[in-house]
Structure 1
Amino acid sequence: MSLYLGKIHYWLFNKILWFENLEDKVVKLAVENKLNVVKIKIEIENKYGKKLENRNLEEIIDLENIHGWLQNRIHSSEGRLAAWIKVILENNKDSIEKLEKIFEEEGKLAAKEAKKEKYFESAIDLYNSINDYILDGMPCDRVNIIEVSENDKVVWIRRICVHKDIWEKENIDVNVFYSLRNIWTKNFVKELNEKFEYSEEEQKFKIIIKK
C-alpha cells in the first residue's frame, strides 16, 4: 500500500499518455480503412477499459494502490493497442506498411519533443530518453539489462518479455509489436542525434556512434 506520489509515478503516467496518443493514431488508420470504429471501440473498451481521463494524475489514481493502478493502466493501454492492430490487419494485411509509417513518424515526433528540453550527446543519454517514452512493464520488472554503457555505445539485452501474453491474447505474434517498436526506436534515435544509430542483432540492442 502507498499513499505517496513520487517522480517515478508521474514518469510512468506520462509514458502511458504517450502510448495512448499512439493508440489514437492507430484508430485514425482504422477510420481511414472504413472500419466500424464506433462498434469496435465499444468492444475493445469493454474488454480493456477506456483511455485515461483528461485529468491530473493525483485526481484519478488510486492512492491506496498506486503500483497496482499504474500496472493496470499499462496493461489496459497495450491491450487496446493490440486489439486495434489486430482488427486493422484482419481487415487488410497490407495495412502493416501504414502501421510502420505511424510508428516511424511517432518516433520522430517524440524525439523532436525531447530535443526541446536538452541536447542528447551520449549513447546513454539516448538510451535513457527512449525509456522516457516506451512502455516495458513496471520498473520492478527489470526488463532490460545494460551490458555496455559508454559515451559512444550502449548495449543491452531483454531479460524477460512482458508483452507476449498481451499480444497473444489478441492472437497476434508479439514479434509484430517488437518490429513496429524497433521502427519507432530507430527513427527516434536518428532524430534525437543523427551521429548515432540503433540496431538489433540476435536479441542484443545497441545504440552506437556512426563510424
Structure 2
Amino acid sequence: MKKIAVIEDSRDVNAALTEFCKKLGNDINVDQFYDRESAESAIKETNYNLIVLDIELPPEKNAGIGIVYTNVTHHKSPVLVVSGLEQTVYKNVMSQLNVWDYLEKPIAADGQEFISSALRMLRAKIDIPVTQTPDLVIHDSSTGKVTYDGSPLNLPQTAKLILMRTYERRGKCVSYPEYYDLVKTGKNPEAIRQHVKTIRDALIEAGIEKEHIAVIRMKGVQWQD
C-alpha cells in the first residue's frame, strides 16, 4: 500500500487533490492535512511515498518551506508542491530543497498534469540524494529567520535567498547572473555584492568570525567552509 500525504488548507482543493491521488492506483492510501502542525507530526512518523504540499498554510505564508525541511530531516519523501504562488521565485527555491516538481494553481479539472507528475514520482526507484542544507543554514518559515550553526542571522528576504543558494553550492563559485532571478531590482554584480555585504555583516553580528562568503573578482560569489 502506497501512502500519500495531501497538505492543503482549502478543503475543496484538498478534496480535489485527494481524488486525483486515488486515481494513481488501487493501492493508494491518502492522509489529508489542513495545517502545518498536524502535517509535520505525521511526516515525522510516516515514510510517505509522496507528499503533495501547498506553500501557504494560514497564518504562515511560507509554512510549506518549513514542512519541506521537516521532511528532509526525517524520511526524505518525494515532494510535489501545488501552489498559487508565483513560480519564478519559488520554483528555484524548491529545487534547492530537493522538491521534485512545482505545479501552479489552478490545476486543470482533469488533473492530467498532476497525475503525470505524481506517477513519475511513485514509479521512480527512490533513494533521494539530499543536499543537507538544514544541517548548517536553516530557513525557519515559522519565524522568518535564518541561522548558521545555531546562531540567528538578521537578514532581509533577498539576502536569505542569496545565502541559501550560495551555501547550497558551497565550494563552487556562483556567477552573478545565477542570482538575478532572486532579486526584483538591481540585477547587476554591484547589487549582488551589496547583498553579500549584508550577509557578511549578519555573520559577524552573530559572532561568526571566519569569512565564509567571498566575492570572486569578476566572477561571482562562493561559500567557503
Work out whether the TM-score is over 0.5.
no
Higher alpha-carbon Rg = 2
Scaled by the length of structure 2, the TM-score of the pair is: 0.29
Scaled by the length of structure 1, the TM-score of the pair is: 0.30
Structure with more helix by fraction: 1
Structure with more strand by fraction: 2
